[in-house]
Amino acid sequence: MKYARLTKEQFEELHQEFINFLATQSITADEWTALKTEKPELAEQELDVFSDLIWEGVLNQVRYLEHISPKQLMLFHITDAFMELIAIKVESDNLDITTDYGYKWLQQNLHDDLVSLYTSTKAIKDDRNKDVFALIRQGSVITKGELYTYFGDLLKE
């Protein structure tokens, strides 16, 4: 397995897609039922293959990720060749940028001495999707890139 098995809830959401997947494997509903009881290890393999296919499809579409913690904002833009990062760190015990107040303070005080800004670009050498998946496993979420664009535009000023 390259990524991670989908959760029970995800399998339920993708029920029709899983049926179609089994059909491409020439596995009928009756055969699937029998496979689960008679050869559970084979059924597990099918679940893993399907999970990887779904993850691969999702990861191929990812262009932006965000990882937000009380003191840090990490914004990623991912292309086929590069991963660009805008990292913003707040050096104050009194601020939590995950709150409305803390985020508004950050927007208004981006150039304050308490705020450190970093940018970085990394070439993707091996497996783009594995790199993206690793960031998701570490807590990043897939976004449309609004924050990346917002802070990227501010940094250009």
Q: Is 70 part of a structural domain of the chain? A: yes
Evaluate whether 82 touches 75 at the Cβ level (below 8 Å).
no
Q: Is 1 part of a structural domain of the chain? A: no
DSSP 7: P
Reference 72, options 121, 131, 135, 117; nearest CA is 117
Q: What is the pLDDT of residue 71?
A: 95
136 and 149 in a single domain? The answer is yes
Record the tokens describing residue 148, joined without a space.
């990346």
Asked if the model's pLDDT at residue 157 lies above 80, the reply is no
Q: What is the pLDDT of residue 111?
A: 86
Asked if the model's pLDDT at residue 93 lies above 80, the reply is yes
CA atoms of 74 and 65, how far apart (whole Å): 8
Q: What is the pLDDT of residue 110?
A: 86
Q: Is 2 part of a structural domain of the chain? A: no
Q: Is 3 part of a structural domain of the chain? A: no
Q: Is 137 part of a structural domain of the chain? A: yes
136 and 85 in a single domain? The answer is yes
99 and 151 in a single domain? The answer is yes
∠ CA(157), CA(93), CA(107), 5° rounding? Answer: 25
69 and 55 in a single domain? The answer is no
- Domain closes at, from 36, 61, 86: 61
| Domain that includes residue 53, residue range | 8-61
Q: Give 43-91 pLDDT, tens digit per residue.
A: 999 999 999 999 999 999 999 999 999 999 999 999 989 999 999 999 9
53 and 89 in a single domain? The answer is no
Q: Give 122-152 pLDDT, tens digit per residue.
A: 999 889 999 999 999 999 999 999 999 998 9
Evaluate whether 76 touches 65 at the Cβ level (below 8 Å).
yes
Q: What is the pLDDT of residue 101?
A: 94
- Domain closes at, from 18, 40, 61: 61
Q: What is the pLDDT of residue 47?
A: 94
Q: What is the pLDDT of residue 23?
A: 92
Reference 75, options 142, 26, 14; nearest CA is 142
Count of structural domains, the chain: 2
42 and 90 in a single domain? The answer is no
Evaluate whether 21 touches 48 at the Cβ level (below 8 Å).
no
152 and 82 in a single domain? The answer is yes
43 and 91 in a single domain? The answer is no
Asked if the model's pLDDT at residue 25 lies above 90, the reply is no
Average pLDDT over residues 112-117: 92
Q: Which residues of 25-44 are buried (b: 16+ CB within 10 A; e: fewer)?
A: eebeeeeeeebeeeeeeebe
85 and 120 in a single domain? The answer is yes
